[in-house]
C-alpha cells in the first residue's frame, strides 16, 4: 500500500510524505492527511520486544513510505538519544490509579520535544529527496512550548532558519526565558502584541500568502511550518500511544486486545488526534477524553456538536492550552464526515465567516467515542495538591487539567477502563502554580528560585533543560504587532530592502 498525502479541502493533489513535510499546509488552507491508514501488521509479542526507537522506525516507515529505511533510521536515532533524560524516551508510570505517559523528558520539558526533535531531520532528508536547493524557513506560532522545542530542534541545522512568534505576556517566565536565550545563528524569536490565536492566524496567513511566498522564493527561501499542522509532527506522536499500549501489555497491566481510555490535555488538538490515528492503526481505544482549561471550546463541542469561538480568550495557568481555534480538529472533521472535502470546506468557511459551525448528526454519532470537559484554574491547582498528597507524584498544570477532567469523567460514567493520561510537561516548567499546589509560599519569589525550592522540598531533581536558565544571556528582544509580522520576517531574512 502506498501512502500519499492530500488536503482536507480538496481532492486534486496527492503528494508524497516528504513533500507534505516540506509544504506544511496545503495551498487551499487545508491540512494534509494520509490517503489511507496503515495497519499494525506485526504480532503483539514481536512489537513488545521493540524499544522506542525500533517502534518509531516501524510506525514512521508505514506513514512516510517514500523515505528509505536507512533515511528514517538516521532520523530516528538522531532524534531519540541522550537529549531525553529517560532511556525509554517516553516512560510510563502507574500512579494514583492511572498510567501516566511521561512525554516531558526531552530537552525543553514538554511533550512537543518528541515530535520536534525528529522534524528537522525529516525535513532535511525531504529537501534532499526533492532536490530542493532553497533554504527552508520554519515559521512557528507558539503558546510557549512549541516555540522552544522547535528552536532547540532546528538551531544550527544547515539549510534551515527558524522564526518563532510567541504572545507577549501569554507565556510563563520560564518559557519566555527558554526562548529568548536561544542560541544559534539561524534562530529568530519575536514577541507578538496579541494572544496565541493572533499569532497562529498570522502565521497561517503568511504561509498562504502567494505573493509573499513568491518574493521569498525569488530570494532563495521556502516556507515550512513546525506547528502541529505539519504531518512531520503529527505522525511521530502516534508512536508513543502504540508504545505505551504495548508497555501495559508487557507489564501485565492489561491483556492483549484489551481496550483502554486515553486522557489528553488538549489545545491545538494535535496530541489527541495522534491517539485517534493510533486507533486507526489498530490500537483498541474505548474513549478519547479531551481535557480543556477554561478556554473550553472543545469541551462544548464534544457535548453539543457546535464549535463556537465567539467568546473571550482567557489567560490561564495552563497557557499551552490557551487556544480557541484548534487547527487539528479539521483533520478529525475530515475523518468523521466520511472523508468529505466538501463538508470540511463548508464548516471551515462557516468558522471563518461566522466564528462557529455545527456538525451533522452522522458526525455527532462518531463523536460518541470522545468525551470533553474542562477544569478551572482552582480545580487544576487542587488536582496538583491531591495527587501530590496521595502519591507524592508531582504533576504540571496541564497534566493536572487532564486528571481533573478524568475524575469528572469517572464520576459521570462509572467507567473503570484502564486509562493512560498524557503527562505533557514537567512540573518545573510551570513552577509557580505547582508550588502553590504543594503549599509553598510563592510571593516575593521569582520562578527560578521557586524551581530550586520545589526541588528541595520534593526531592525531585531539576531537569537539565532549565538548570541555570536565569543566568543565560537574553539574545532575542524583537517585538511586533500582528500586522508587522511579514515585515520583521523580511528583516531577518534580509530581503525586500
Ligand atoms: C502544546 C501543549 C498541549 C496541547 O497539545 P495539543 O497537541 O496542541 O492539543 C498540552 N500541554 C502542554 C504542556 C503543551 O505544551
Place of cell 522564526: 163
Of 428 and 444, the one with more pLDDT: 428
In this structure, are strands 221-225 and 135-141 parallel, antiparallel, or unpaired?
A: parallel
Total-model pTM? 0.94
Query: Which atom of ligand 1 is the closest one to the Cα of 429?
Result: 13
Residue with C-alpha cell 522545542? 149
- Kindly calculate the radius of gyration of the chain based on its CA atoms and give it in whole angstroms: 21
Distance, in Å, from the CA atom of 238 to the CA atom of 223, rounded to the nearest integer, reads 25
The 10s digit of each residue's pLDDT in 211-261 is 999 999 999 999 988 888 899 999 999 999 999 999 999 999 999 999 999
For residue 465, report the distance from its CA to the centre of ligand 1, in Å: 18
Beta carbon of 291 within 6 Å of any ligand 1 atom: no
User: The dihedral of CA 275, 280, 281, 282: what is its sign?
Assistant: positive
Average pLDDT, the chain: 95
Tens of pLDDT, residue by residue over 332-380, are: 999 999 999 999 999 999 999 999 999 999 999 999 999 999 999 999 9
For residue range 184-221, list pLDDT tens digits in order: 999 999 999 999 889 989 998 998 899 999 999 999 99
Pocket test for ligand 1, best of 147, 200, 320 (most atoms within 8 A of CB): 320
**Is the pLDDT confidence value at 444 over 70?**
no
d(CA 366, CA 296): 20
Name 372's bridge partners.
Answer: 290
Q: Of the ranges 38-47, 372-381, 437-446, which one carries the lowest mean pLDDT score?
A: 437-446
Name the residue among 227, 270, 274 with its Cα closest to residue 21: 227
Q: How far is the CA of 447 from the centre of ligand 1 (A)?
A: 21
- Alpha-carbon gap, residue 422 to 405, rounded angstroms: 12
Secondary structure, 3-state, 64-80: CCCCCHHHHHHHHHHHC
pLDDT at residue 470 above 90? no
Which atom of ligand 1 is found nearest the CA of 398?
11
Report percent pLDDT > 70 for the chain.
Answer: 99
- Round to whole Å and give the CA distance between 228 and 116: 10
CA-wise closest residue to 172 among 382, 397, 384: 397
**Cell numbers at residue 344, please?**
470540511
pLDDT at 431: 93
Cα 274–269–211 angle (5° rounding)?
A: 105
Please tell me whether residue 370 adopts helix, strand or coil conformation: strand
For residues 22 and 120, the answer to whether their CB atoms sit within 8 Å is: no
Cβ atoms of residues 32 and 17 within 8 Å: no
Amino acid at each position: 500500500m502506498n501512502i500519499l498525502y492530500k488536503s482536507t479541502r480538496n481532492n486534486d493533489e496527492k503528494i508524497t510524505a516528504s513533500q507534505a513535510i516540506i509544504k506544511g499546509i496545503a495551498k487551499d488552507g487545508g491540512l494534509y492527511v494520509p490517503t489511507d491508514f496503515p495497519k499494525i501488521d506485526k504480532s503483539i509479542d514481536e512489537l513488545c520486544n521493540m524499544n522506542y526507537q525500533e517502534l518509531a522506525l516501524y510506525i514512521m516507515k508505514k506513514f512516510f513510505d517514500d523515505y528509505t529505511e536507512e533515511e528514517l533510521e538516521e532520523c530516528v536515532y538522531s532524534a531519540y538519544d541522550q537529549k531525553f533524560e529517560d532511556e525509554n524516551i517516553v516512560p510510563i508510570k502507574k500512579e494514583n490509579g492511572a498510567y501516566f505517559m511521561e512525554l516531558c523528558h526531552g530537552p525543553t520539558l514538554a511533550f512537543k520535544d518528541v515530535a520536534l526533535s525528529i522534524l528537522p531531520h525529516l525535513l532535511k532528508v525531504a529537501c534532499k529527496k526533492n532536490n530542493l536547493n532553497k533554504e527552508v524557513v520554519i515559521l512557528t506560532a507558539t503558546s510557549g512550548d512549541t516555540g522552544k522545542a522547535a528552536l532547540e530542534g532546528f538551531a544550527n541545522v544547515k539549510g534551515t532558519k527558524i522564526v518563532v512568534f510567541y504572545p507577549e505576556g501569554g507565556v510563563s517566565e520560564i518559557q519566555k526565558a527558554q526562548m529568548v536565550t536561544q542560541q544559534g545563528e539561524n534562530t529568530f524569536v519575536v514577541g507578538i502584541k496579541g494572544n496565541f490565536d493572533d499569532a497562529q492566524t498570522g502565521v497561517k496567513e503568511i504561509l498562504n500568502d502567494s505573493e509573499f511566498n513568491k518574493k521569498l522564493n525569488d530570494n532563495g527561501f521556502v516556507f515550512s511550518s513546525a506547528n502541529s499542522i505539519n504531518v512531520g509532527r503529527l505522525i511521530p506522536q502516534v508512536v508513543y500511544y502504540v508504545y505505551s499500549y504495548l508497555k501495559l501489555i508487557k507489564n501485565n497491566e492489561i491483556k492483549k486486545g484489551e481496550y483502554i481510555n486515553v486522557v489528553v490535555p488538549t489545545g491545538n488538538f494535535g496530541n489527541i488526534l495522534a491517539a485517534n490515528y493510533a486507533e486507526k492503526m489498530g490500537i483498541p481505544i474505548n474513549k478519547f477524553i479531551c481535557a480543556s482549561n477554561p478556554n473550553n471550546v472543545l469541551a462544548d463541542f464534544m457535548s453539543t456538536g457546535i464549535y463556537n469561538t465567539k467568546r473571550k480568550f482567557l489567560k490561564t495557568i495552563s497557557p499551552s492550552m490557551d487556544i480557541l481555534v484548534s487547527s487539528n480538529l479539521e483533520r478529525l472533521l475530515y475523518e468523521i464526515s466520511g472523508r468529505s472535502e466538501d463538508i470540511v470546506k463548508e464548516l471551515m468557511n462557516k468558522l471563518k465567516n461566522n466564528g462557529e459551525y455545527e456538525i451533522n448528526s452522522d458526525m455527532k454519532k462518531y463523536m460518541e467515542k470522545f468525551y470533553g470537559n474542562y477544569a478551572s484554574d482552582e480545580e487544576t491547582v487542587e488536582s496538583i495538591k491531591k495527587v501530590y498528597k496521595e502519591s507524592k507524584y508531582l504533576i504540571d498544570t496541564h497534566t493536572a487539567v487532564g486528571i481533573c477532567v478524568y475524575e469528572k469523567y469517572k464520576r459521570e460514567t462509572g467507567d473503570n477502563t484502564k486509562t493512560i493520561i498524557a503527562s505533557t510537561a514537567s512540573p518545573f516548567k510551570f513552577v509557580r502554580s505547582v508550588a502553590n499546589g504543594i503549599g509553598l509560599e510563592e510571593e516575593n519569589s521569582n520562578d527560578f528560585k521557586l524551581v530550586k525550592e520545589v526541588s528541595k522540598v520534593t526531592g525531585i531533581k531539576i531537569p537539565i533543560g532549565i538548570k541555570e536558565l536565569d543566568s543565560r544571556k537574553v539574545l532575542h528582544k524583537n517585538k511586533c504587532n500582528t500586522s508587522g509580522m511579514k515585515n520583521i520576517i523580511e528583516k531577518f531574512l534580509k530581503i525586500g530592502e
